[in-house]
Amino acid sequence: MQELGSLGLKLAGNGEQKRRYLPRLASGEWLCAYALTESGSGSDSAAMRSTARLEGDEYVLNGSKRFITNAGVAQLYTVFAKTDPQAGHAGISAFLVEADTPGFEVARVEPKMGIKGSTTGELVFEECRVPAANLLGEEGEGFRIAMRILDRSRPGVAAQGLGLAQGATDFAVEYAKTRETMGKPIGEHQLVAAMLADMETKCEAARGLLYRFGAAVDEGIDGSELTKLSAMTKLYCTDVAMEVTTDAVQVLGGYGYISEYPLERMMRDAKITQIYEGTNQIQRLVIAREMLKEQRAFLLAGVA
């Protein structure tokens, strides 16, 4: 979350903004948050209703944000609002809002099925005055900034999913070695053994895709190629997380379902990875959109 909240600064912040905030974020003195989603605009950012109007040397923010991680504990929020409500995506701008800014408050913290160690809440802005110097980039660049952030942060969610999947696999394997039925460890029964083999294979495939993304970033790959790879990584690793943790609970049977063992928590935590920072349905649309832009006609050469 520290990465997600600070990427806007690193990608689009000016020198003064970086000097003012990044040292405190890097040291952990301050936490930060990313505030894009609203109750009526999750996957459809152009439908956001939060607005920001320029008055002198300040922007006045009005609106609300929903499902914001680190709500209530962050000292700095990267907030997206419309400076031109009629312009769709092109009317969105990004702002740095400090937690003690008058007119800003955390309205509620959500009770959740999983990831209960992480706060998720609703933000409200009522005539919230933010210095014009806290505009990230230029007016109208907010959506582009938001998407560039997500291209780089989504594989962090992928890594979270992979960690859950591998942890669940490791626990299930150890359990399957010691739990006996019909005179032998359950891991030696073919149906359980097949589940374990599939779980391990999915984890290894997910790890390879995640590492490929990391290599692409190190190599400076950007644009549509990075967008597609980011979406593929997030999609596959988090689907694997849900599949593998569900299977791990099944391997433990009744013990997998009770909170004395860690797998029910892993399963609950895995579910959100398929939803936040872009649902996996949206990731599939992104991947297909980028595929359709690619030129693969050479593969049909010579085919009659």
Active site residues per annotation: 277
- b vs e for 60-84, b when ≥16 Cβ sit within 10 Å of the residue's Cβ? bbbbbbbbbbbbbbbbbbbbbbbbe
Measured distance CA(133)–CA(143) in Å, rounded: 19
Rg of the chain taking only CA atoms, in angstroms: 22
* Kind of pairing between the strands at 51-55 and 32-35: unpaired
Decide: 119 and 72 in contact? Cβ < 8 Å. Answer: yes
Q: Which residues pair with 247 in a beta bridge?
A: none
Show the beta-strand stretches assigned E in the chain: 32-35, 51-55, 58-69, 76-82, 92-98, 104-109, 120-131, 135-136, 180-181, 184-185
Secondary structure in 3-state letters for 150-196? HHHHHHHHHHHHHHHHHHHHHHHHHHHHHCEECCEEHHHCHHHHHHH
Decide: 260 and 171 in contact? Cβ < 8 Å. Answer: no
Burial class (CB in 10 A: 0-12, 13-18, 19+), 170: middle
Neighbours of 161 (CB within 10 A): 30
Burial class (CB in 10 A: 0-12, 13-18, 19+), 194: exposed
